[in-house]
Structure 1
């Protein structure tokens, strides 16, 4: 396997980690001495956890843009056109290199740790730490193969630049991912999640990998069955018992249903509070005010706003609607989180839901004469241009931070794997193997949301709708649509900026995979390295 240097991935910072990750530059340390100690090897492993912040902590477009659920607000905000509309998508488009750079940096850090694992101090925890690293390398490769298809496999520690590399097939990349995860499963702790990789996290990812590969031409005949089996292992009989609103109340990210997340807290970002946090709270909502509202309204990008389709998916009985969206925006926005009784607060904006009758709206106007009432059909992406004119997503709001324009300031964890997602993974896998059992999993998710009338049957579209309601704003949607072959259909049907023709690429191919970044191709001295065919 070729050694790869891509876009400066040799830059390496190790860190210390407890319940959070805190940067600690050890660039001047004698690596050969330090990393062979227990302390040094732990620093290498913690650097792998820190790199998760770089994969997930920046812009959310690569995970969410260009789908059926999110679009930029009309006249405000600026999403990268390639990722959000496809017609301008090419190898130099803004954002196409985000995962390529951050995931290969993660792979390099994992390979360094695995190299030193053979020569470091042999401790009781060493095997567990190796398993954690293998999980994170597998996760990075999984993001790469879903996004770009086959990529160059590197499993060696790189200590000098190598600019010649080959491209492996997607089938080979999946094989490596499953090997890493299989080894990790036998190594990591079988403990409740406390910030580090556990068996349940590995099982959840194994289920997702098998499920995703099951749709590929090179799928194993047992992929759907294996996906369901690993999902059941990760569920481990646990029911969905936490109210949905409680799952997402700020500070409650480490609840019993969280399987794995990227860890943050205020102290870990205090050294550089505009760069060490994350930007998840920046997206999925309208502009909420400038510096004049500092401390009163969190900055939002006016991009990745909920489409009409996303909002229409919810019914009045669905508790997830009120827990996901800020249906009443108060004069001081964050009072929604900081005041137990909001009944006496002045309302700045009210977003009437689709089930509100004219009588309901009239009554609300009488009881809240100060409120700007925004009627159903007037506050989704594509029909608004002013501040507060579209409904804010409150699910990721962080009331502990001050207003900072377009910065990584949130110290809330980014949840990557949680129990309801595992239920839905199982339901999708069972759709092909045991639909009756899959329906039980799907209805369990709906029942927790307050939808007490169970579904009698389901198909992939019903399942994708349920994933939209349950996982709105979480970093899954582009991958969900790409995996199930629904990206072109759903994005062109429900996103006002996208026509099906936008996906037409070179050689009669559709722009489903993202292009290999041009900078990586330019660095590669192997000029036979192929670009994805839609971009030739």
Structure 2
């Protein structure tokens, strides 16, 4: 396994990253090549492992063996910036233009997300082309299984492209010749290709999640993504059918009782979902996880210190305050790149029942101190005058210094042996059943069936102890609030708001820093200027509202 992972990453680096520099052209540089790799089932396992590595590198920052790197600190945070959930204005310089709506076509992440997606697409296309040439399979079903994986990952990459850029070139084969005349394929047509790929994947990926390794795809992950992309396409019936296929499969369930490595410690079932090592089905019995990206600590094929800096985004810089020292129990080293807005998270104080409201019911465990840390106590034993006393959250510590504010604990991560770690080293639930229910609710709203939508949402709310809602309460805004309560930080909030056609409205309602600036031009990012400049032989128009 160790050698397979090393070979696969090397292969992916060779066959895909070269294509980023010349848009979508393949350029082979060593004897390790598709012609001598994709010649057996084992060779396709190598290529498959590379696709998983490249997919995980969506979260990579500065490298350290990643299959792709953004070469800057906060790519994930750019997908949360300028939405309705977090203040990002006073954050890392790489986020400034995203946060204050001054993006240009030369901004780093504008280019790196494009290149990451097309790297994944070109690698998937390569595997698909060579799967048609290969005749040396261990099993008759191997060909379709690897094609299903490749088509899933191609669909996943185009998902990012259509959300961020709209119309993009659709490429489904290897490009051997250097091209300077790409054209932008209409978003609706790309969505059609995405749906076709996912339909194929639902038919040929493994059925039983108990018979695949942790992190590997099953047909249910394809159905989950098919539900989401059918919503983006406006096909609410297919979205409903796809979500129900997962829910009624018999393999998944919302976790409703304590489980995993910390089940006997203080906490609740929602916090259990995010405890280190609790994400995978086989290791700890998490039946809610549908697809989990593998980032675990000190594991071949796991995470690096440059992978998934989500923890640093959502956790305050508490060590800037005298009386605090780094601690794993406080989430490790936080940099507060994303500061939760008061409208949904509530305030730092407590009401008579000991709970903070925000958009949560008083009984909602997702609002408990196990899941949103509001009470902070000085932990530096060397400072006897403060040790053990409560530190106050103020407007200044929340929004100016960003040193103390309510923190999303699902992203806490720290290791006592190295508290300065930057990476989270914790497996990431990319798809889980709670979101499938919320996609189902979205599908029902699209069919003007708020009663059914409320039933789907109430499945999720009952697990959290929140009050059930009625059909009269079931609106798209309520559903978007529910996605915050359940999925904040897990979902790419920009994607959700673009899909539901709510980005401008919600930003105007909740993001005071940019409410007077946001308009429909901000629904998309600009096309990277390097792509426009390289495409000399055909027009490649920029998205509205952006200039060079």
Is 1:298 aligned to 2:332, yes or no? Answer: yes
How many Å separate the matches in 2 of 1:7 and 1:66? 29
Q: Where does residue 486 of structure 1 map in the other structure?
A: 502
Q: Where does residue 535 of structure 1 map in the other structure?
A: 546
Q: Deviations over 1:177-234 (max 9, x none)?
A: 11111111111011126311111101101100011111xxxxxxxx111111111111
Distance change >3 Å, CA 533–CA 228, structure 1 → 2 = same
1:285/1:300 contact within 8 Å kept: yes
Name the SS of the counterpart of 1:468 in structure 2: helix
1:287/1:300 contact within 8 Å kept: yes
Name the SS of the counterpart of 1:261 in structure 2: strand
TM-score, structure 2 as length reference: 0.78
1:474-513 → structure 2 map (5 Å cutoff): 474-500=490-516, 502-504=517-519, 510-513=521-524
Is 1:207 aligned to 2:227, yes or no? Answer: yes
Q: Which residue, 122, 127, 135 being the options, matches 1:113?
A: 127
2:332/2:413 contact within 8 Å kept: yes
Q: Which residue, 117, 130, 140 being the options, matches 1:103?
A: 117
Q: Deviations over 1:270-295 (max 9, x none)?
A: 999433x32122211211337x9466
> 1:157 offset after TM fit, Å?
1.6
Name the SS of the counterpart of 1:157 in structure 2: coil
2:243/2:440 contact within 8 Å kept: yes
How many Å separate the matches in 1 of 2:441 and 2:173? 37
Name the SS of the counterpart of 2:109 in structure 1: coil
How many Å separate the matches in 1 of 2:171 and 2:124? 11
How many Å separate the matches in 1 of 2:27 and 2:87? 35
> 1:145 offset after TM fit, Å?
0.8
Q: Which residue, 469, 474, 486 being the options, matches 2:485?
A: 469
Name the SS of the counterpart of 1:163 in structure 2: coil
2:152/2:222 contact within 8 Å kept: yes
2:296/2:302 contact within 8 Å kept: no
1:101-500 → structure 2 map (5 Å cutoff): 101-120=115-134, 121-124=136-139, 125-159=142-176, 161-192=178-209, 194-214=214-234, 223-236=235-248, 238-242=252-256, 243-254=269-280, 255-268=286-299, 273-275=304-306, 277-289=307-319, 293=325, 296=328, 298-311=332-345, 312-321=358-367, 322-329=369-376, 331=378, 370-374=389-393, 380=398, 383-387=399-403, 389-400=404-415, 402-404=418-420, 407=422, 409-433=423-447, 434-457=449-472, 458-500=474-516
- Please, which moves more after superposition, 320-329 or 520-529? 320-329
Q: Deviations over 1:356-375 (max 9, x none)?
A: xxxxxxxxx9xx96121336
Name the SS of the counterpart of 1:510 in structure 2: helix
Q: Deviations over 1:114-163 (max 9, x none)?
A: 11111232232332121111101001011111111110011112345433
Is 1:520 aligned to 2:531, yes or no? Answer: yes
> 1:174 offset after TM fit, Å?
0.9
> 1:330 offset after TM fit, Å?
5.1
How many Å separate the matches in 1 of 2:452 and 2:35? 53
Q: Where does residue 338 of structure 1 map in the other structure?
A: none
1:61/1:84 contact within 8 Å kept: no
Name the SS of the counterpart of 1:444 in structure 2: helix
How many Å separate the matches in 1 of 2:299 and 2:425? 8
How many Å separate the matches in 1 of 2:30 and 2:389? 57
Q: Which one scores higher on RCO, CA 8 angstroms, separation ≥ 6? A: 1
Name the SS of the counterpart of 1:398 in structure 2: coil
How many Å separate the matches in 1 of 2:383 and 2:108? 38
Distance change >3 Å, CA 416–CA 526, structure 1 → 2 = farther
Q: Where does residue 50 of structure 2 map in the other structure?
A: 47
> 1:482 offset after TM fit, Å?
1.2
Is 1:82 aligned to 2:113, yes or no? Answer: no
> 1:11 offset after TM fit, Å?
9.6
Q: Where does residue 87 of structure 2 map in the other structure?
A: 71
1:331/1:346 contact within 8 Å kept: no
In the comparison of the two structures, how many residue pairs are matched?
Answer: 471
- Please, which moves more after superposition, 463-472 or 192-201? 192-201
Q: Where does residue 357 of structure 1 map in the other structure?
A: none
Q: Where does residue 21 of structure 1 map in the other structure?
A: none
Distance change >3 Å, CA 167–CA 328, structure 1 → 2 = same
C-alpha RMSD over aligned residues: 3.1
- Please, which moves more after superposition, 312-321 or 231-240? 231-240
How many Å separate the matches in 1 of 2:412 and 2:23? 32
